[in-house]
Amino acid sequence: MTRKLSSIIPIIIIIIALLYFTDNTPQSDQKTTLVSESDSLTVRYLDVGQADATVFHLNDADEEYVILYDVGDWHRNEVVDYLQEHEIDHIDIIMISHPHADHIGQLKPILEHFSVDEVWMTGNETNTNLFLNTMETLLANEDIAYHEPSIGDIYEIGPLHIEVLHPNPDELSGDLNEDSLSILATFGEIIFLFTGDAGVKTERKIVDNHKHIEAHFLQLGHHGSNTSSDEQFIDAVKPTYAIYSAGKNNSYGHPSREVIGLLTHKNIPILGTDTHGTITVTTDGKRFKVATETGDVIETGQQTEKPEIITEDCIDLNNATQTELQNVIHINEVRANEIIRLRPFHSIEQLIDINGIGPKRLDDIIEENNVCVE
């Protein structure tokens, strides 16, 4: 059933992977991606009732990319309507977290009416007519690449960096929810985390397997159900916002009181499609704006702060490589080379001598607390 990815090729070369992994354990050490002033990203958590669908609109200079993460329920058509209303005729990647009807639902009509480069799935199968008919449509189209990404895979789509956190297609449990395709998407300094319907068991695996999963925006697992959003997981992600997709007055009781109580206790703002409609995040890689369809929550012009990064080992200004130095906030390739040229450093405060590092940026570097002088 598997056809190899052929267009947007992932960076999964072992040599490059060494920049991201230690002891073969996947982790998100890359804290920022290079974003130019003309780049922008819009992420829309669509109001699709008791289902899930998210659209990424990525602008990279003269290039535009459209990525979908889940595509709503089978008996509705909001995703198809959205694509038509926004005059989108080409989709670069469709990621399906798992083959339940409320996540894969509108894939078949999308494949029939739009140009699609790639479809990503976990490799799990079901015997439902919806799944079988959808896969028949997908695999009959030789122009669409079918791919099963694996834990640790890294992809670069323009300035958008995507890391696969779960699962390993060779080690699927057979539990469609727990095997949900989970990704960490980074645009500049802004990070988005998606786990589909993965539960506490998978969340704990992600925490154990990955060194850094901090994110500004966390889509709550399983529509905000108490089967997900383990406190250990929430503490590891440290989300600036928690977003869930659920139907208004749904019969499942989503989101659960336990999850809402946990997030409220931790002072994490919560947005839901059942009360706010479609939720839109726009970002230039440094600042973001959050807007809702209902207009209940609007945030503009915020200078974002990177979620706290806790590292086991500091980045030593006197010994770190150019690549390692670029993991420090405000340090790009040019400044990394300048640091190397000016070595040795006797204190972190000497970074003020680097062109472009003023008092405010120096304070940011010190506050991030991952730099040292040894």
Question: pLDDT tens, 203-215?
Answer: 999 999 998 899 9
Task: State mean pLDDT over 63-84.
Answer: 96
Would you report the helix, strand and coil content of the chain in percent, each value rounded to 5? 25, 25, 50
Task: State mean pLDDT over 37-48.
Answer: 92
Q: Is 83 helix (H, G, I), strand (E, B) or coil?
A: helix
Give the Å distances, CA to CA, from 292 to 11, 88, 262, 271: 35, 21, 23, 9
Q: Could you write out the DSSP letters of every residue in 282-325?
A: EESSSEEEEEESSSS-EEEEEE--PPP---SS-EETTT--HHHH
Q: Which two tokens stand for residue 374?
A: 């040894």
Read off the CATH number of the domain in which 356 is found. 1.10.150.320
Q: Is the domain of 161 the same as that of 287?
A: yes
Reported as type and span, the H/E element at residue 138 is helix 129-140
* Overall number of domains in the chain: 2
Q: Is the domain of 291 the same as that of 322?
A: no
Q: Which two tokens stand for residue 29?
A: 């050490």
Q: Please report whether residue 5 resides in a domain.
A: no
Supply the pTM of this predicted model.
0.74
Q: What percent of the chain has pLDDT over 90?
A: 67
Question: pLDDT tens, 240-276?
Answer: 999 999 999 999 999 999 999 999 999 999 999 999 9
Task: Specify the pLDDT at position 13.
Answer: 35
Question: pLDDT tens, 157-172?
Answer: 999 999 999 999 999 9
Quote the mean pLDDT of the chain. 86
Q: Is the domain of 340 the same as that of 230?
A: no
What is the gyration radius of the CA atoms in the chain, in angstroms? 21
Task: Specify the pLDDT at position 299.
Answer: 55
- Of the residues 279, 303, 327, the one at which a domain ends: 303
Q: Is the domain of 234 the same as that of 355?
A: no
Asked whether the beta carbons of 21 and 27 are under 8 A apart, the reply is yes
Range of the domain at 203: 14-303
Asked whether the beta carbons of 164 and 28 are under 8 A apart, the reply is no
Alpha carbon distance 258, 142 (integer Å): 46
Q: Is the domain of 129 the same as that of 243?
A: yes
Bigger pLDDT: 176 or 297?
176
Question: pLDDT tens, 277-329?
Answer: 999 999 999 999 999 988 765 554 444 444 433 334 588 898 888 878 888 88
Residue 31 makes CB contacts below 8 A (sequence gap 6+) with 186, 189, 212, 306, 309, 327, 329
Position 20 pLDDT exceeds 60: no
Which segment, 29-38, 87-96, 316-325, is predicted with the most confidence on average?
87-96
Task: Specify the pLDDT at position 103.
Answer: 98
Q: Is the domain of 85 the same as that of 50?
A: yes
Question: pLDDT tens, 181-208?
Answer: 999 999 999 999 999 999 999 999 999 9
Q: What percent of the chain has pLDDT over 70?
A: 87
